Amino acid sequence: MSEARTLSLAEIAARLGGEVVGNGQTQIARVASLAGADAQSITFLANPKYRAQLAGTRAGAVILAPAARAATALPRIVAAHPYAYFARVSALLNPPRPEPVGRHASASIDASAEVDRSASIGPHVSIAAGVRIGAHTIIGAGCHIGAESVIGAHSRLYSNVVVYERCRIGMRAIIHAGAVIGADGFGFAHEADAGGGAWLKVPQVGGVVIGDDVEIGANTTIDRGAIEDTVIGDGVKLDNQIQVGHNVQIGAHTAVAACVGIAGSARIGRHCQIGGAAGILGHLEICDGVTISPFSLVTKSIHKPGVYTGIMPLAEHRNWLTRAAHLNRLDELAQRLADLEKQSKR
């Protein structure tokens, strides 16, 4: 995310493919939205509904799909997937700020830990016995890594991430600040024989296993398994403040939006998309390719790909009051309807 670098359209296409139309020497310093662009910006059109904005953009260049090739006279790059192409251009123009290789003087690292020499260990980090940290991995300030945990190469943990003991995280992970990996699952036995109905803690002896190319959002929590492991597949993307219960399995390339809660032992398929603040009850199964709408609760297994929703519509409050009253007597309404039907058949 530095500022000095510029690239010409021709240089961009040389690295990322696509066809340059117009002046290939146009210099690009930054990415921008259609509305916010200036002469040194490259922007993109992926959704036809923004065509009107395209007419007014002051961008230096635009990325377009083949079908929109003629939609502007600006210098442009024609690419099959404009938004993905834009993401790659942005990555070229905004390389991550480099972190110093080696161990910050204030880090506390157990002698038995194996930290690759190319890794960067930030201030106030603690790394316990037997931990292994892969090549080029960055451990941000204030992270704490529990005993015998493993973090793969080319990963980045931002500040104040906590990884409990015996967790395994793959390569190229991105874990945002405040995430907690491997805390105890919520497992208690009802001690029926003890007086007073107290709860007895069930030790959570499984771990957490996270695949490659996983991103985990800020303050998200992934609990360790009760007996076996909690498993997050390759390429899974988890947004902020998600709760993943013990023994959950999430299939590869599933994306979960913020504030979702996934109860213990739920199994979610591959390529699913779970909307924000949705919920998934425990011990059920969701097949591959399912989309759950935001704010919707999954209470049973889903065996058919598709989109599923359970949202209570919003209304002006006084209308909602009436609606809630009707909902509270929905049984009576149905009964009255059945009575009328019976009567009309006589």
Report the residue number, 20 or 263, with the smaller CB distance to its own copies. Answer: 263
Q: Annotated catalytic residue: which of 154, 176, 246, 253?
A: 246
Phi, psi at 98, each rounded to 5°: -70, 140
- Is 3 a binder of its own copies (CB under 8 A)? no
Stretch that binds its own copies, among 18-26, 51-59, 60-68, 122-130 (CB under 8 A): 122-130
Q: How far apart are CA 133 and CA 231, in angstroms?
A: 20
Return the residues of window 12-31 that contact its own copies according to CB under 8 A.
Answer: 30-31
Tell me how far CA of residue 35 lies from CA of 22, 49, 313, in angstroms.
21, 14, 33
- 93's enclosing H/E stretch is helix 82-93
Residue carrying the six token digits 């995310």: 1
Cα gap 142→97, rounded to integer Å: 18
Of the candidate residues 16, 29, 153, 281, the single one contacting its own copies (CB under 8 A): 281
Binder of its own copies out of 174, 284, 285, 287 (CB under 8 A): 174
Q: How far is the CB of 90 from its own copies (least distance, A)?
A: 4
Among the residue ranges 7-15, 20-28, 112-120, 329-337, the one whose residues contact its own copies (CB under 8 A)? 329-337
Rank residues 23 and 148 by Cβ distance to its own copies and give the closer one: 148
Q: Return the residue of 184, 284, 285, 287 that touches its own copies, per CB under 8 A.
A: 184
Active site residue 246: yes
Judged by CB under 8 A, which stretch of 18-26, 50-58, 67-75, 300-308 contacts its own copies? 300-308
Binding residues among 101-120 for its own copies as defined by CB under 8 A? 104, 106, 108
25/310 with CB nearer its own copies? 310
Q: How far is the CB of 139 from its own copies (least distance, A)?
A: 12
Whole-angstrom distance, CA of residue 276 vs CA of residue 96? 28
Binding to its own copies in span 132-151, by CB under 8 A: 140-142, 144, 147
For residue 332, the SS3 value is: helix
**Smaller CB separation from its own copies, 25 or 309:** 309
One residue of 76, 103, 154, 253 binding its own copies per CB under 8 A: 253
Q: Is 85 left (phi over 0), alpha (psi -120 to 50) or beta?
A: alpha
Contact criterion met (CB below 8 Å) for 111 and 127: no
Instruction: Tally Cβ neighbours within 10 Å of residue 69.
Output: 12
**Nearest to residue 77, comparing CAs of 174, 8, 132?**
8
Closest to 260 (Cα-Cα) out of 233, 221, 203: 221
Query: Of residues 47, 49, 52, 344, which one binds its own copies by CB under 8 A?
Result: 344
Name residues contacting its own copies, limited to 214-233 (CB under 8 A).
215, 217-219, 221, 223, 227-228
Q: Rounded to whole angstroms, how far apart are CA atoms 8 and 20?
A: 10
Cβ neighbours of residue 105 under 8 Å, at least 6 residues apart? none
Binder of its own copies out of 76, 103, 166, 267 (CB under 8 A): 166
- State whether residue 330 is helix, strand or coil: helix
Question: Restricting to residues 60-99, which ones interact with its own copies according to CB under 8 A?
Answer: 80-81, 83-84, 86-88, 90-91, 94, 97
Q: Which residues between 260 and 279 bind its own copies (CB under 8 A)?
A: 261, 263, 271, 276-277, 279
Residue with tokens 């390389």: 95
Total residues in contact with its own copies, by rule CB under 8 A: 128
Radius of gyration of the chain, Cα coordinates, nearest whole angstrom: 26
- Give SS3 for 103: strand
Quick one: tokens of 254?
């599933």
Nearer to its own copies, 1 or 73 (CB): 1
Among 162, 173, 231, 232, binds its own copies (CB under 8 A): 162
Catalytic site positions: 246
